[in-house]
Amino acid sequence: MGIYHFWNVVNEAGRERSLAQWAAKHLKEHGRPLRIAIDEAHWRFKNITDAKEAEIQEKSPGSHPRETAILERTLPLLRLGIQLLFVFDGERRPEMKKGSKRYFQREATTALLKGMLDHIYVPWHQAPGEAEAECALLQQKGLVDAVWSEDSDSFMFGCTLLIKDLRNGKNQKLKEETQSFDMKDIRKTGLFNKKSITLFGMLTGCDYDSAGLRGCGEAMARQLAKKGGLVEGFWRIQTEADAAGWRMLLEEEIEMITSGSNLSFNKQRSDIRSFPALQALRNCRNPVISDAATLDSLPFLQGEWYGTHTTENLKVTIPWMQAHFFSRKATIWWVEQFVPVTINQRFLKNDSKSSTRAKCFLVLRGLSLSWREFIF
């Protein structure tokens, strides 16, 4: 998913991060909670395989494995005081990806998840196009601090800090440990910015053009992506005439690289005369994203990021949750799930007082009150 070979190239730039420590440090340094935009499709389709979903639903008819898995991942993050935003793909997402018709995410497939998020007061946003492009935009604008996705396209769209799942030796996701990739570290691998990443992706193959440039392997693509003039010329291509002029420079750079190294390029087998595919380049370079007015009017940016659970709204929320998830769990179990979340949210609303902030750090470190001691 995303740019072929990208993660192999930038793997050394990734670092493990404790979400609890990161959240506490961010709050201390910036005076507000850590904010993460989640590529919803990534969480939906990477949390559980189709086969596992079918197996669970066969054993438990009427169950909702994907939404349940997302709920189980979300609640611990809320208890850490992290502010989450789920971003959904929109109607104007490109029709063709990976050489075949894209999966169209109809409202029926996301309605339950959106309802769940509404009931636990986690905001969500419908992107006009691709969720990963919208997440990257939100992060570039400083509205969120990081993007949670497995899709390397995020960097092509301008993301500078991305979170990936971290797995243990048994290939199991770790709940509160992640792998983060910062653009400052990725630059050390030779991919300097979104322009060079886009060229690398078009050369090696990506969701919009799976073939890439035949005859150009990962090593050659890395060398070409370091050529500033080549990258800038590539980024300016608008017409076939532009592309024809740029290809002359591309051939010159390939000749210089092959003559000065052991890298090779077979011109006879290459399709360089039709590279790049202009529509694929447009999709990479100019994704459909929200305009400034839309971002400025997002409701969770106008007031409180999260709503607050009260005794009255829990009388609605808990029965709804029981009807859709963990139906055998008693009401008290659900209350105990929401108590530490509510404590954190209340502390975070008024963190100007040092005593409140200190209490918040204790909660972030795992301290929570019994539901019997908590007054809504």
Residue 267's pLDDT is 76
> For 223-240, b where at least 16 C-beta lie within 10 A, e where not — what string?
bbbbbeebbebbbebeee
- Check whether residue 270 and residue 291 sit in a common domain: no
367, part of any domain: no
Highest mean pLDDT among 69-78, 131-140, 259-268: 131-140
3: pLDDT strictly greater than 60: yes
What's the structural domain count of the chain?
2
Closest to 287 in 3D by CA, of 58, 69, 130, 52: 130
The secondary structure of 292-357 as a DSSP string is HHHHHT-HHHHS-SS----HHHHHHHHHHHHHHS-TTS-HHHHHHHHHHHHHHHHHHHTTTSHHHH
Residue 330's pLDDT is 87
C-alpha to C-alpha distance for 202 and 214, rounded to whole angstroms:
11
Please report, for residues 127, 201, 333, the alpha-carbon distance to residue 93 in angstroms, rounded to integers and kept in the order given.
9, 19, 40
Angle, helices 107-119/311-324, rounded to nearest 10 degrees: 140
pTM (2 d.p.): 0.88
- Check whether residue 269 and residue 294 sit in a common domain: no
* 202 and 284 Cβ atoms separated by less than 8 Å: yes
310, part of any domain: no
Q: Which of 314-322's residues contact partners 24+ apart within 8 Å by CB, and which partners?
A: 314/338, 314/376, 316/119, 317/119, 317/120, 320/115, 320/119, 321/116, 321/119
- CB under 8 Å to 27, separation ≥6 — which residues? 33, 34, 81, 348, 351, 357, 360, 361, 364
- Check whether residue 183 and residue 198 sit in a common domain: no
- Check whether residue 106 and residue 223 sit in a common domain: no
- Under the banding of pLDDT at 50, 70 and 90, the label for residue 355 is very low
* 158 and 194 Cβ atoms separated by less than 8 Å: yes
Residue 278's pLDDT is 96
In tens, the pLDDT along 156-215 reads: 999 999 999 988 777 777 778 999 999 999 999 999 999 999 999 999 999 999 889 998
- Check whether residue 137 and residue 199 sit in a common domain: no
Query: Within a 10 A sphere around the Cβ of 283, how many other Cβ atoms?
Result: 24
345, part of any domain: no
- Check whether residue 169 and residue 205 sit in a common domain: no
pLDDT mean over 275-279: 95
- Check whether residue 246 and residue 181 sit in a common domain: no
- Under the banding of pLDDT at 50, 70 and 90, the label for residue 303 is confident
Query: For 205, how many CA atoms within 13 A lie in the half-sphere containing its CB?
Result: 12
In tens, the pLDDT along 83-106 reads: 999 999 998 888 755 443 344 455
Least confident range of 20-29, 98-107, 115-124: 98-107
358: pLDDT strictly greater than 50: no
- Check whether residue 71 and residue 137 sit in a common domain: yes
106, part of any domain: yes
Radius of gyration of the chain measured on its C-alpha atoms: 23
Q: Give first-to-last CA distance, the chain, whole Å.
A: 44
* More confident site: 329 or 362: 329
222: alpha, beta or left? (left if phi > 0; alpha if psi -120 to 50): alpha
Average per-residue pLDDT in the chain?
A: 86
- Check whether residue 44 and residue 154 sit in a common domain: yes
160, part of any domain: yes
Residue 375's pLDDT is 40
52, part of any domain: yes
Residue 310's pLDDT is 83
Residue 157's pLDDT is 97
12: pLDDT strictly greater than 90: yes
The CATH number of whichever domain residue 13 belongs to comes to 3.40.50.1010
333, part of any domain: no
- Under the banding of pLDDT at 50, 70 and 90, the label for residue 350 is low
Residue 7's pLDDT is 96
- Check whether residue 98 and residue 152 sit in a common domain: yes
374, part of any domain: no
353: pLDDT strictly greater than 50: no
Please report, for residues 57, 69, 90, 294, the alpha-carbon distance to residue 52 in angstroms, rounded to integers and kept in the order given.
9, 12, 27, 38
Least confident range of 95-99, 145-149, 304-308: 95-99
- Check whether residue 71 and residue 171 sit in a common domain: yes
Domain that holds residue 165: 6-188+287-302
